[in-house]
Structure 1
Amino acid sequence: MVIALGDEFRGDDGVGPAVARALHRAGLPARILVSYGDPVELIDWWRDARVAVIVDAVMRPDPRPGRVHVLDPSDLQVTVAGTHGFDVGAAIALGRALDRMPDRLVIVGVEIADLGPGRGLSRAVTAAAPGVARAVVDVISGEPGSAGDHSAP
């Protein structure tokens, strides 16, 4: 299962939905869903999944737009902050408390810098899309090296 988070009307925050469309067009054999980030929705979607991958835009100090991070949920507290009005870490904690977690959860984050109004991704984030899709496929297929940071080509 792939859960893409984001808002296509907030610049680079639309990277999740853009990657979801690309994965769907490529015929990825996984359930692909798009969300604005409702924690209850996320928990309901991922609870019975063997592998769930969240694709999201992330903000970091001194961002390198387009840099891809493949993270374990335990990395969230220190490493990244999502762009939504809730904390993905809090949704994970709630899912654990309710015993509604997938067997494996991985976050594929893309560093962004532009959250301005309007559709369309920046050049750097657009260029990162193939690397994001590759990271998602690697996680789903269980390929070695499917964790860690990946720079955009």
Structure 2
Amino acid sequence: MKRLVITVGNEMMGDDGAGPLLARLLEKNHIPGWEVIDGGTAPENYFHRVRDMKPEVVVVVDACEMNLEAGSVRLISENDIADEFILSTHRLPLSFFISALKELVPKVYFVGIQPSIVAFGLPVSSEIRQAVEMVYDKLKTGKLDFPHLE
């Protein structure tokens, strides 16, 4: 089964760098069966690669404001994204990005990581580093059993 992780974020913006941090971790410590695309702040620019890869599963990982404790990780439903409950710092609305992915891929999951501070020039916080490692470990086991956003 072809599986793909698409990370979203800007590593120059503090905890918004959660996605790129996960991409680097996956590139350095490859997990068999998973490919990774660091989508940066414009993941829609990689739709052509997704189409060419034809993955069966895509997991999108991004730091997003969910009004939770810093470092909290949640599976976010399409309804929550569509209701604009989720705030993102990126060019294209997440709802559009996820909908477009679902036209190409049978299973799409969106994993949100609650940031602590998103500000230019700050490093990724320790809470987000721990959350990224947890996401990596879950990908390694193949069980995306994160709590759902409520």
- The TM-score, its normalising length taken from structure 1, stands at 0.78
* Corresponding residue number in structure 2 for 1:67: 72
- The answer (yes or no) to whether the contact 1:77–1:89 under 8 Å persists in 2 is yes
Q: Tell me the SS of whatever aligns to 1:31.
A: strand
Q: Give the SS at the match of 1:8.
A: coil
Q: Distance in 1 between matches of 2:46 and 2:116?
A: 25
Question: What residue identity is the alignment partner of 2:63?
Answer: A
Q: Any gaps of 5 or more consecutive residues in structure 1?
A: none
SS of aligned partner of 1:4:
strand
Q: 1:56 aligns with which of 42, 52, 62?
A: 62
TM-score, with structure 2 as normaliser: 0.79
Instruction: Tell me how far apart the structure 2 counterparts of residues 147 and 130 of structure 1 sit (CA, whole Å).
Output: 13
**1:35 maps to which of 28, 35, 39:** 39
- Compare 48-57 and 28-37 and name the one that shifted more: 28-37
Q: Is the 8 A contact 1:10 1:116 kept in 2?
A: yes
Report what 1:88 is aligned to: 94
The Cα shift of 1:94 comes to 4.0
How many residue pairs get matched?
142
CA distance 1:113–1:83, shift in 2 (3 Å): farther
Shift, 1:39, TM fit: 5.4
Q: Is the 8 A contact 1:108 1:136 kept in 2?
A: no
The code of the aligned residue for 2:81 comes to L
- Over the aligned positions, Cα root-mean-square deviation in angstroms equals 2.4
- Residue identity in the other structure for 2:119: G
SS, match of residue 37 in structure 2: strand
How far does residue 6 in structure 1 lie from its aligned partner after superposition? 0.8
> What 5-or-longer segments of structure 2 have no aligned partner?
none
Partners in 2 of 1:135 and 1:45 — Cα distance?
A: 24
Partner of 1:46: 50
CA distance in 2, matches of 1:92, 1:4: 12
Q: Residue 106 of structure 1 aligns with which residue?
A: 109
**Equivalence for 1:116:** 119
Contact 1:65 1:111 in 2 (8 A): yes
- Partner amino acid for 2:9? G
Deviation at 1:90, TM superposition (A): 1.4
Segments of 4+ moved more than 4 angstroms: none
